[in-house]
Amino acid sequence: MLLDSMAGYAPARLRFGGRRALFSAIVAIMAVPGVVLFIPKFLVLNQLGLYDNYTALILPVIADAAGVFIMKQFFQSIPPTVEEAARVDGAGVFRTFWSVVLPMARPALITLTIISFQGVAVQSLELFTLPRGLADLVSGSRGKGTQYPLKLGAAVLATIPVAVVFVVFQRYFVRGANEGADKG
């Protein structure tokens, strides 16, 4: 989340050469379906000796194009007057980002957190994430035949954590980024 938010803030608010080309590259990366990247990710992680451990779960999602895109779009929705007020108060670029803009980005950060709960670069049962375990169950490798009631029950149980996170943080999703943003 931290890297995605910093990488999204730069093209949204900072002026530098190649900013448009960088954003075009991010959009181009997003155009490639995620399924196409599974095998290259697996090969790279396997070649580095990182397959089937916690690093394999964390490294592929430490920063991705979709996260940078989400954060950039969110930061563009925040009025520039908020950052101008912080600069008038003496805050630098990083302080403005960290203390003013990032706390306002809670809805986008929560969205990134929910999206990041995935992982395919493990084989040990103890390292399975919820989507991977459910996929393994649906493929039939954990049971015999097509046990639809078991599969449907597992799918319902898999939605519970996401629903709980949404209910707990619902006010951050609903509340706009501009609420209480302008200094009066």
Q: Tens of pLDDT along 124-168?
A: 666 666 666 666 666 665 555 666 777 778 778 877 877 887 788
The domain ranges of the chain are: 2-174
* pLDDT top residue among 176 and 56: 56
Measured distance CA(60)–CA(122) in Å, rounded? 12
Helix locations, the chain, DSSP H: 2-13, 19-31, 34-47, 54-58, 65-77, 80-88, 93-95, 102-104, 106-115, 130-138, 148-168, 170-174
Query: pLDDT, tens digit, for every residue of 29-64?
Result: 888 887 787 788 888 888 888 877 777 777 777 878
3-state DSSP call for residue 184? coil
Could you tell me the pLDDT band of residue 88, with boundaries at 50, 70 and 90? very high
Which CATH architecture does the domain made up of 2-174 adopt?
Orthogonal Bundle (1.10)
Q: Is the pLDDT of residue 184 over 50?
A: no
Kindly tell me if the per-residue pLDDT of 75 is higher than 90.
yes
- Could you tell me the pTM of the whole model? 0.64
CA angle 33, 128, 113 (to 5 degrees): 60
pLDDT cut 70: percent of the chain above it: 76
CB 157 within 8 A of CB 94: no
